Structure 1
Amino acid sequence: MRRSATVGTGAVLACALVLGGCSSGSGESTDTLQVVADPVAATAPVSPRPSAAPAGTVVGTQGEVTAVAADPATGTLAVAVPDAVLLYPADDLAAAPVRVPLAGRAAQLRVSGGVLLATVPTAGQVARITLPGGEVSTLTVDGQPAGAVVEGERTLVAVRDRKAVDVFTGGQFTKTIQGQLYSADDVLEAGGSAVVLDELRTALFSVDVDGGTMAEGLRAGDGATNAVADSFGRVLVVDTRAGALLAFSTGPLLLRQRYPVPGGAYGLAYDPRRALAWVTLTERNEVVGFDVRGGEPVEKYRFPTVRQPNSVTVEERSGRVFVGSAAGEGVQVIQP
């Protein structure tokens, strides 16, 4: 069975690009990005008790893990737990971690521009953490920062409640970009383009950072939850409600692939050295590795995980996969 899908040109794409909808024969306007009348963001499906022992080894942590990130340049594994980020030497997870206190719970960890970015929505902050030492500088955000990325000299911050992308240059706020969003839940750089993920509208939007405007947008399934940029200039998105992995090219946005991933697809990470996308399945307590170099993803690995595997990251040098348990079972380490 062929599982990939593409978005063509013509009326469907044109309708998506103008964002205001295409007119029907009756003269009424239809919003092609609207999923339901009262949208609710998708969340991770609840995991059952594991039926198999987790693959690899498990490192205990205090409390649930909300996010994980690995930095190949310094060999550091960052683990977000309530009110702190733990920094481990990736090659010696038995060592005592450096504990970096935060003003609240980190919603996202991302290594970008040589620093670790930790978004703290409840405090209106983005913590910029140097690795491996853990020194912190803070960007103060008006609202609830959900995701951040470094783009050259600028840091872009997705501000969920204000439906905006804030731009900081040299640590100073310079401008905000709004328009068409229901929520701003993550911002990424892919193929030289900035892209924002809107989980409420379950859509992706291009961002013209220099011009200060939101550009074209496309639906991203029925319940998009997590996104990463790959090494082919694309944005990979997990559609949790429909159980699928989506691949979008940028400049302009086009849906290139849609591949079914049943079992509660949620967490997402990308290994650029091996072109592997890792997707966690919270309904099955599994993590699956897909080769995404071809016309459609090809499953290469599947491992049992800790319970509630909401987050995942990859250490690029070794290919090791780290899975975080949101049920308090620690961080799992897998060598494929």
Structure 2
Amino acid sequence: MRRLVTTYLSAALLLTGCGMDTTSDPLQVTDTLTAATPATSPPTTTPPAGTVHPAPPVQLTAYDRDTHTLALATSRTLLLIDTTTGAQRSIDLPSPPAALRAEAGRALAALPDSNQITRIDLRTATTQTTPVTGGPVDALDLDPHRTAVALRNPASVTILTDGTPTATTTGLKGPAQLLTAGGHLHILDRLTTAITPINPTTGDKGAGLRAGEGATNATTDRYGRILTIDTRGQEYLAFSAGPLIMKQRYPVPGAPYAIAYDPTRNLAWVTLTATNELVGYDIAGGEPTETHRLPTISQPNSIAVDPDTGTLYIASANGAGYQVVKP
């Protein structure tokens, strides 16, 4: 009970601080900002659960339920795997992607070194590129005409309407991941380890909240919450949107890094890079409840889930392959 009370008081204090009139950034606690990174995994000592398939080192993983396609980003190659037949196709990209999404038969990749975002038709394996200056590190389609893009330089978020910038958000440090929850757009900043709401029409920032000591990855759930991994602080955090309030905070030892959400079973799956494990939490209640703990391949830096079957796809960043688990 003491931990939960502390959580809500901390969230309230942060919200109050964000509303103060100050020339400094209330979310920046040091002049030297360093993004958290996954732990270097030890050698595996327990056989991984499920089935392991060979693959080069994988940086990003995404799954599309419409085409049953698993997309694996391996440096400048995007590997597309039909999970029903096992057939594979590959697409060469001009540079490594920093972010990868898959939905409704398409994948969307942000390529900062090429100053572009690329859409991939997962049925035909054809691509369509949109130039975006500033080194896009993430992109998210808001509707058929608008796309939010997080930029590396300058650190900002721009809204493209039919490919043309119409709004810009500045004053960020390390924008890394865009999320929509409860009908609201948010940005996860890995340098300030904070989540901040953004008005996609005007580009204005709302009151942000710190997300632990070193937030790295986040996703959303069917309750309109933002589920966040604090790798440095070794915690799972959940925030409601509109207004942004911390709702859950739970310890996750083992250097948690990647997260995926199964909306059918209300499970949040988190990879532990320090122990080569995958842990599943039931998050439907007021506090997460651990329901699964499975051994993984080494360096499990990315994960995706099939919401229809519950099948999990965990990929290794050091060349140990990708793992298919049906819990």
Q: Is the TM value for this pair above 0.5?
A: yes
The residue aligned with 2:283 is 292
How far is the alpha carbon of 1:32 from its aligned partner? Answer: 3.3
Match of 1:82 among 72, 75, 90: 75
Gap regions ≥5 residues in structure 1: 22-28
**Mean alpha-carbon deviation: is it higher for 314-323 or for 149-158?**
149-158
How far is the alpha carbon of 1:161 from its aligned partner? Answer: 2.8
Match of 1:164 among 129, 132, 156: 156
Q: How does 1:128-207 map to 2 (within 5 A)?
A: 128-153=119-144, 154-170=146-162, 172-207=163-198
Matched, 1:50 2:44: yes
How far is the alpha carbon of 1:126 from its aligned partner? Answer: 1.3
In the superposition, the TM-score normalised over structure 1's length comes to 0.91
Q: Which amino acid aligns with 2:159?
A: V
How far is the alpha carbon of 1:227 from its aligned partner? Answer: 0.8
**Percent identity (aligned):** 42
The separation in 1 between residues aligned to 2:4 and 2:83, in whole angstroms, is 35
1:42 and 1:224 in contact (8 A); partners too: yes
The separation in 2 between residues aligned to 1:13 and 1:49, in whole angstroms, is 42
The separation in 2 between residues aligned to 1:159 and 1:99, in whole angstroms, is 27
The residue aligned with 1:41 is 35
How far is the alpha carbon of 1:3 from its aligned partner? Answer: 5.5
How far is the alpha carbon of 1:300 from its aligned partner? Answer: 1.0
Matched, 1:124 2:115: yes
Q: Which amino acid aligns with 2:100?
A: L
The separation in 2 between residues aligned to 1:135 and 1:119, in whole angstroms, is 16
Q: Which amino acid aligns with 1:101?
A: D
1:167 and 1:176 in contact (8 A); partners too: yes
Give me the CA root mean square deviation: 1.8
- The SS at the match of 1:226 is strand
Q: How does 1:1-336 map to 2 (within 5 A)?
A: 4=4, 6-8=7-9, 12-18=14-20, 21=22, 31-61=25-55, 63-93=56-86, 95=87, 97-112=88-103, 114-153=105-144, 154-170=146-162, 172-336=163-327
- The SS at the match of 1:15 is helix
Once the two structures are superposed, residues 213-243 of structure 1 have per-residue CA deviations (whole angstroms, 9 ceiling, x without a partner) of 1221110100000011111111111000000
How far is the alpha carbon of 1:115 from its aligned partner? Answer: 2.1
Q: Which amino acid aligns with 2:66?
A: A
How far is the alpha carbon of 1:12 from its aligned partner? Answer: 4.1
2:63 and 2:102 in contact (8 A); partners too: yes
Once the two structures are superposed, residues 65-95 of structure 1 have per-residue CA deviations (whole angstroms, 9 ceiling, x without a partner) of 01111111111111111211111111233x2
Distance 1:213 1:64, change over 3 A: same
How far is the alpha carbon of 1:179 from its aligned partner? Answer: 2.9
Q: Which amino acid aligns with 1:7?
A: Y
The separation in 1 between residues aligned to 2:155 and 2:290, in whole angstroms, is 36
1:66 and 1:108 in contact (8 A); partners too: no
The separation in 2 between residues aligned to 1:139 and 1:31, in whole angstroms, is 33
The separation in 1 between residues aligned to 2:96 and 2:3, in whole angstroms, is 38
In the superposition, the TM-score normalised over structure 2's length comes to 0.94
Distance 1:113 1:158, change over 3 A: farther
How far is the alpha carbon of 1:11 from its aligned partner? Answer: 5.1
1:67 and 1:108 in contact (8 A); partners too: yes
